[in-house]
Structure 1
Amino acid sequence: MLGIVYAGQGSQRVGMGLDFYEKYDEFKETIDNATDAVKSVTDMDVADLSFNGPMEQLSDTKYTQPAMVAFAIGVTKLLHKKGIKADYTCGLSLGEYSALYEAGVLEEDTILQLIAKRGKYMAEAAEGLHVKMAAVLGMDRETVLECCDKANSELAGEKIVQPANYNCPGQIVISGDAVAVDKASAYLKEAGAKRILPLKVSGPFHTKLMKPAGDKLAEEFEKVDFKQPKSKVVFNCLGKEKKDEDSVAKLLEKQVQSSVYLEDSIKYMADAGVDTIIEIGPGKAISKFISKTVDNVKVYSIDSVEDFENTLEELA
């Protein structure tokens, strides 16, 4: 069985998708359409910013998100044209929206407009805050939670830190107010964390500080027709498929302000019988997480035309 996973924010790079844009008409049309689709929300030119930068602007969440999702949709279309569709799909944070496109839950223009608003609302929620995110290496979940709780208790709830991403065994990202992240990091070092790496981010993603963004997204979701999935979707905030009574809109609202269980999602797909996974997006970060999480799963990463064509050849 085939799984398709989508990269999240942080893996963007200037030049991403240019080779696809120059070679495949379907990809070019997707990127050009993306600029029109998001123009009511943001003034970005998706092609120009993706291909030419500057990197500082491309890394601003309100611009990163539409650029990354447009790339993902374009590559997904090319895979679908070749008859390659997922049995299971998921994504890291904003990558979950691309997974919903792959599964047919959201249509192209709808998803691009939603992701542009998501980026805008997340940027607005972070305005005026002094925040940090940091990757904690070599530490178990329980200890990370204990150190975050200890920091939160010491700060009496005025500043917060939370686990934001469970990426793979031994790598957990914490997020929140800078002073709280620093306190938790100090406790984690005392507890034996191998390394704590600050991440270049523009907001306290996947924490309670993103609730204003979640509230605004909830209003937008009321206007959206979420279709029945054609692939099995593994959701970030569950680490598994949703139950029939679960609402996609509610899960997406929750996702922006709670932990992302990528490690659990990968294990869930492997336990379900997925033996091949394609990662779509710049960089190979998720492929590394997969290799550290499960054995006996073949992983392909599509970042470039060369990757795409090699993957087609291998799968054939």
Structure 2
Amino acid sequence: MKAFIFPGQGAQFSGMGKDLYEKSAQAKDLFEKANDILGFSITDVMFAGTAEDLKQTKVTQPAVFLHSVILSKVMGDSFDPDMVAGHSLGEISALVANGVLEFEDGLKLVSKRATAMQKACELEESTMAAVLGLEDHLVESICAQTKGIVVAANYNCPGQLVISGDQLAVEKACEELKELGARRAMILPVGGAFHSPLMEPAREELAAAIKETEFKNPKCPIYQNVSTFAVTDPAAIKENLMFQLTAPVKWTQSVQNMIKDGATEFVEIGPGKVLQGLVKKIDRTAQVSSAEI
């Protein structure tokens, strides 16, 4: 069985999507439609902007979303998943590709998500850190006993967990984790504490927008970051998405469940190959590839 997976923030690169725009009339139309919806020319930044330009919150998330979704649309019949999943932001890309959300609605939610997260980041000094080489339960226990707010945020693959929270708590947890034997515990260059309780203001803002958006039946099951199991009911998909910003991204568990349910091949749709690397670390026998037109 074939699983199509969609990357999140951090996969962006200068020139992304330019080949799609030039090769496909359908892609060109969708990119131009995106420029109109967003109210600025995101294609100019995607195709010719610097890495610094692409880091702007209002650009990064829509850019990754557009690259993934437009690629899935121009693939035509070769987009034939038995199941889908997306990493953080990538979950919204997966929902559009899977027929749950309309293109316009998905892009509006992504734009709202980006601005809401940016506002939440400005309320308190916060950050994230990557922890390598420790078992999940050890990282969780250090987070639980550290003063302040610090939680497990991204379960990326065995031995790779990202923690998130207020600046001092994350720094303190990193010191403790190194003493416990972590190979690395390093602060990441991110704007704030994503997938932690500090994102509650953003979660509330995005949840209000999600409530007003129509969710349709998916073409195939989606394995969501919050639940990790196959979901096909639009109401359940909607509910899970509402809690994604404050809940951890359970990528390891989602991939393990997809494999348990029969996935043998994982196709990454969008910029980069990060998810392919994570899948191989979760299960060396899984086949991985990048989607092409």
Q: How does the TM-score come out when normalised to structure 2?
A: 0.95
Give the CA deviation at 1:134: 1.2
Match for residue 224 of structure 1?
213
> Cα 1:246–1:224, aligned 2, differ >3 Å: closer, same or farther?
closer
For residue 116 of structure 2, the aligned residue among 105, 109, 121 is 121
Give the CA deviation at 1:207: 0.4
Match for residue 14 of structure 2?
14
Size of the aligned set, in residue pairs, is 293
Alignment-mate amino acid for residue 110 of structure 1: D
Q: Gapped runs of 5+ residues in structure 2?
A: none
Match for residue 30 of structure 1?
30
Give the CA deviation at 1:109: 0.4
Aligned 1:40-51 pairs, distance under 5 A:
44-51=40-47
> Cα 1:232–1:37, aligned 2, differ >3 Å: closer, same or farther?
same
Equivalent pair of 2:222/2:232 in contact (CA under 8 Å): no
Which is worse superposed, 26-35 or 200-209? 26-35
Match for residue 231 of structure 2?
242
* Identity level (%): 38
RMSD: 1.6
- In structure 2, what is the Cα distance between the partners aligned to 1:123 and 1:207? 14
- In structure 2, what is the Cα distance between the partners aligned to 1:161 and 1:295? 31
| 2:48 is the counterpart of 1:52 | yes
Equivalent pair of 1:161/1:176 in contact (CA under 8 Å): yes
| 2:79 is the counterpart of 1:90 | no
| 2:255 is the counterpart of 1:272 | no
- In structure 1, what is the Cα distance between the partners aligned to 2:107 and 2:233? 26
> Cα 1:69–1:211, aligned 2, differ >3 Å: closer, same or farther?
same
Which is worse superposed, 14-23 or 238-247? 238-247
Equivalent pair of 1:279/1:301 in contact (CA under 8 Å): yes
Match for residue 62 of structure 2?
66
Q: Gapped runs of 5+ residues in structure 1?
A: 303-307, 310-316
Match for residue 102 of structure 2?
107
Match for residue 176 of structure 1?
165
Give the CA deviation at 1:175: 1.1
Equivalent pair of 2:85/2:223 in contact (CA under 8 Å): yes
Equivalent pair of 1:133/1:199 in contact (CA under 8 Å): yes
Q: Could you give the per-residue CA deviations for residues 153-173 of structure 1, whole angstroms, max 9, x where no partner exists?
A: xx3xxx311111000011001
Alignment-mate amino acid for residue 104 of structure 1: G
Moved over 3 A (4+): 242-246
Alignment-mate amino acid for residue 70 of structure 1: L
- In structure 2, what is the Cα distance between the partners aligned to 1:18 and 1:269? 32
Equivalent pair of 1:30/1:73 in contact (CA under 8 Å): no
Give the CA deviation at 1:246: 5.7
Alignment-mate amino acid for residue 26 of structure 1: Q
Alignment-mate amino acid for residue 74 of structure 1: I
Give the CA deviation at 1:197: 3.0
Equivalent pair of 2:218/2:234 in contact (CA under 8 Å): no
